[in-house]
């Protein structure tokens, strides 16, 4: 019986390893393209909000979160929000937005590299 139990644990670990696949994006990618892909917004308080809709209009975009907030952001790779998304400086997820655990796990395994990764074109 001990052999069967250890086999099941080994299979569960390998399945977890497959699900924890790392994704690589370029660190220099456009801010709106990154937001469209990740669908998360870092608030100044350190909370991640889920993006419900993103309407791009030239150099500005109107962001609507799942908790009902709507605001306009400017396209800047050096902005606070862009840096916080790339460097993963947010502490937790918004309870009102109900960001799923799989999305947070996917975001935490995403790597931003300077010279290698998807350019999100």
**pLDDT tens, position by position, 7-49:** 443 334 344 544 567 767 667 778 898 889 889 999 999 999 9
- With b meaning 16 or more CB within 10 Å and e meaning fewer, what string describes 87-112? eeebeebbeebebeeeebebbeebeb
Q: Quote the pLDDT of residue 106.
A: 84
| pLDDT band for position 87 (cuts 50, 70, 90) | confident
What is the spatial distance between Cα 36 and Cα 52, in angstroms, rounded to a whole number? 10
pLDDT of 108 higher than 80: yes
The percent of residues in the chain predicted with pLDDT above 70, rounded, is: 73
pLDDT of 2 higher than 60: no
Q: Quote the pLDDT of residue 39.
A: 93
pLDDT of 93 higher than 90: yes
Q: Quote the pLDDT of residue 22.
A: 72
């Amino acid at each position: 019986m001990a052999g069967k139990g250890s086999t099941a644990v080994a299979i569960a670990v390998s399945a977890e390893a497959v699900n924890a696949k790392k994704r690589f994006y370029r660190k220099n990618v456009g801010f709106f393209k990154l937001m469209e892909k990740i669908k998360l917004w870092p608030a100044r308080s350190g909370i991640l909000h889920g993006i419900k809709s993103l309407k791009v209009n030239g150099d500005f975009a109107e962001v609507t979160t799942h908790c009902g907030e709507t605001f306009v952001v400017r396209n800047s790779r050096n902005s606070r929000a862009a840096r916080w998304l790339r460097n993963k400086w947010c502490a937790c997820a918004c309870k009102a937005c109900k960001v799923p655990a799989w999305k947070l796990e996917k975001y935490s395994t995403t790597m931003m590299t300077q010279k290698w990764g998807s350019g999100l074109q």
